[in-house]
Amino acid sequence: MGFSSYKKSVENGDKVILYFSPSHIAPLKINLGQTLQTAYGAIKHGDLIGKNYGTKINCPKGWIYLLHPTSELWTQAVPHRTQILYSTDISMIVFQLELTAGSVVVEAGTGSGSLSHAIIRSVMPTGHLFTFEFHKDRFEKAGQEFVEHGLSDNVTITHRDVCNDGFQLNHVADAVFLDLPSPWSCIESAKQAIKLQGGRICSFSPCIEQVSQTCATLTEKGFQDIKILECLLRKFHVKHTGLPKASLGELTELEKMQKVKIDRKKPIEMGTNDDMVETGESVAKKPCLENTNNSGKNNKDKKKGQDCYEFVTASPVQDMQGHTGFLTFATLYGQ
């Protein structure tokens, strides 16, 4: 059983993901005979065996979903042994490092393995991740999880301080990823690990001072195209709204049929974007700009002779999830 392939139903020994709510997702290793105590009541592992992944499970005091593990769900469910990288940054890292099936990647430190799982999934089935962690317990726990998740063929984890002892890899990697307090101290070793035809590097740092020192070392070691990105999440309110249809000339056949009277000299008044930004709601000054979820209102508009074009729109809300870190990318061209 693993993250590497999909199957239909749960078997004893599987690692499953239990979905309680959007903010509560937990992993569970199925052990026949054991019982999990939850806020929704007791769940017998044996009752989950044979159930199809994706099934809604009724519990004594509610319900949960039984999900197949994926690297994205693992990022939400992983037991935190360190700060971890989340899907927003991970997607940018995978894209910017140009990871694809068959890529060879070097990573330090492994931490809780959140990013490692996403990298392994991106480079499977023929690629490989060499990941390094100097904290003994974290190294052992991550190694155990890679085995349990069926990922052993695509990952090698090494217990080492890469800042002092380097990666000890010679021109095997397409990309290197660093999530370390002093990434600049292993950039020389990262360069040695990158393939002779060149490759990409990324360093994740929460502080701009670390970014600055990393950029200076990258430049000194011959990396080019240095680019710093910060990923921020922005939420949008999605809603149905309507605008008066602009009539630019002759009446259409439809208008003629409907005998709609439109005052062509009067300009069509549009709602401003500011209205939407300020309130997070669709603010309507004219009937046709009103939220047309309410079909009664819509009919009223039509009675007034305004022909409405209805559509789905989105406006940003004011809150924006805070900074997690800066991603510094660079390229090493052929050596």
Ligand X SMILES: C[S@@+](CC[C@H](N)C(=O)[O-])C[C@H]1O[C@@H](n2cnc3c(N)ncnc32)[C@H](O)[C@@H]1O
Residues that bind ligand X (CB under 6 A): 82-85, 108-109, 111-115, 132-135, 138, 161-163, 179-181
Dihedral sign for Cα atoms in the order 103, 104, 107, 112? positive
Phi, psi of 38 (to 5 degrees): -130, 170
Of residues 104 and 202, the one with the C-beta less far from ligand X: 202
Q: How far is the CB of 156 from ligand X (least distance, A)?
A: 14
Structure tokens at 243: 């605008």
- Give buried/exposed letters for 167-191 (b at 16+ CB in 10 A, else e): bebeebbbbbbbbbeebbbbbebbb
Q: Toward ligand X, which CB reaches closer, 242 or 325?
A: 325
Which residues is 91 bridged to in the sheet?
Answer: none
Q: How far is the CB of 324 from ligand X (least distance, A)?
A: 11
DSSP state of 93: H
In DSSP notation, 189-208 reads: HHHHHB-TTEEEEEEEESSH
Pick 162 or 283: Cβ nearer ligand X: 162
89 or 307: CB nearest ligand X: 89
310 phi and psi angles, rounded to 5 deg: -95, 140
The residue type of 240 is H
The pair of three-digit structure tokens given for residue 238, joined into one six-digit string: 């999605």
Nearer to ligand X, 182 or 299 (CB): 182
The distance of closest approach from Cβ of residue 94 to ligand X in the complex, given in angstroms and rounded to an integer, is 13
Q: How far apart are CA 287 and CA 308, in angstroms?
A: 9
Q: Taking CB positions, which residue lies at the least distance from ligand X?
A: 109
Nearest approach, Cβ of residue 285 and ligand X (Å): 48
- Tell the smallest beta-carbon distance from residue 318 to ligand X (Å): 29
Cβ closer to ligand X: 114 or 328?
A: 114
Return the structure tokens found at 152. 């052993």
Closest approach, Cβ 162 to ligand X, in A, equals 4
Exposure of 150 in the CB half-sphere (CA atoms within 13 A):
15
Task: Write down the least CB distance from residue 199 to ligand X, Å.
Answer: 19
Looking at the Cβ atoms of 19 and 184, the one nearer to ligand X is 184
